Structure 1
């Protein structure tokens, strides 16, 4: 995979991105309609909308977990449509860190082992894995909990472990799907503050949420309505722009 591109190149850029399920049949569903989107390095962007609005479909396309029916997507300057399955897997590993509502930690593994797990897929030498995992846990304030299993951690601590795992390969993009949905409001605020610190460290944070109060923590708010993407008036940070961009 190529080296990170200059800050002037968008980390996420889509052109006319559309997704149609079961096209031409009675069950046809148009989930996404011509989405143009441009997100710069170090942006904190919330994508919000109700169930069925298309935000999950957009998240899957941004995360390279699905392919569009039409349109194109450049991830850190790379046109994902030009990649084969193996290259896509490498791109996901190197460019995108995933954080989910349910934490998705392996219960029999310690926090350190959970965080280090992606390094095995990246063929990082075993001695280096523990050191990097410990560093990632320290970055989210959990250095002292490295030996604890998920059942020995609070919900907020488990989500911090999940964030550390997402960051272990130093991806430019952190894609968080309802990351505070299983947390109480105080713990949720702590996780959102952590995302802001990660943004300040030049990570690009994409937050998927249905909650306006959660979305308000982001620098930009994009709203999905019936498969179309709209930017909230007054939101915006740096020169990220929205739609109509050229690569």
Structure 2
């Protein structure tokens, strides 16, 4: 095996998410102590579409915040695309989020005064990409989600499904290895939700890694595999159960 082929093989074999014995305790040692996560193990590889399910209070939001590097664990380890996040300071964590993770939320989180192109291009400003390249890459990202002709429309001029597509294009603009979607179809009607889930499948087929947080079993069924949070513990759900 050549050095180049070996490096490519090693990259393919490196999990995008590699979580070992992850624990999270809020207010430890106090009367208000809450054990949110208990020894969670989770590995997700490039090109997978994984759903994390669980009722309110199960720990899935805590797990999502840890995967997104928005919070730090009490115990255990998390490697994001090969990077041990525990070794990073606040500035390095912010850079990792920018480079490695695209976020998609239920509420779209678009800026109302910006058009679709400007909303999509916004992360590239933080990445210090030159303005002309920002516009070109944002246009390409909008085309990838089927919205090339809506580039000059503001969020108020777009349907809910179109706004979520803009949000997905924005999440993809830095070409991150991980797309983290929190209840992305929660504010959409069922037909539009199906279209968004079909888009996630297409992105998966294009070698993106999609992790979807949901409480809806019908939504989770679109993923390649489903992990279920129960009382702070993560379990793999067998298909057909």
**Same fold flag (TM > 0.5):** yes
2:63 alignment partner, one of 58, 67, 70:
58
**Partner in structure 2 of residue 68 of structure 1:** 73
Between Structure 1 and Structure 2, how many residues are aligned? 233
**Partner in structure 1 of residue 4 of structure 2:** none
| Structure 1 segments of 4+ aligned residues over 6 angstroms from their partners | none
Q: Distance in 2 between matches of 1:233 and 1:215?
A: 12
Instruction: Return 80-89 or 188-197, whichever deviates more.
Output: 80-89
- Which has the larger helix fraction? 2
1:94 alignment partner, one of 88, 99, 103:
99
TM-score where L is the length of structure 2? 0.95
TM-score where L is the length of structure 1? 0.93
2:17 alignment partner, one of 12, 20, 31:
12
SS of the aligned residue for 2:11 comes to coil
Listed as ranges, the matches of 1:164-175 within 5 Å are 164-175=169-180
1:34 aligns with 2:39: yes
Q: Distance in 1 between matches of 2:12 and 2:46?
A: 6
Listed as ranges, the matches of 1:150-161 within 5 Å are 150-161=155-166
**How big is the alpha-carbon RMSD for the aligned residues of Structure 1 and Structure 2?**
1.2
SS of the aligned residue for 1:27 comes to coil
- Deviation digits for residues 190-221 of structure 1, max 9, x if unmatched? 00000000000111100000000000000000
Q: Distance in 2 between matches of 1:83 and 1:191?
A: 34
Q: Distance in 2 between matches of 1:140 and 1:120?
A: 21
Structure 1 residue 6 displacement after superposition: 1.1
SS of the aligned residue for 1:169 comes to coil
Listed as ranges, the matches of 1:1-247 within 5 Å are 6-234=11-239
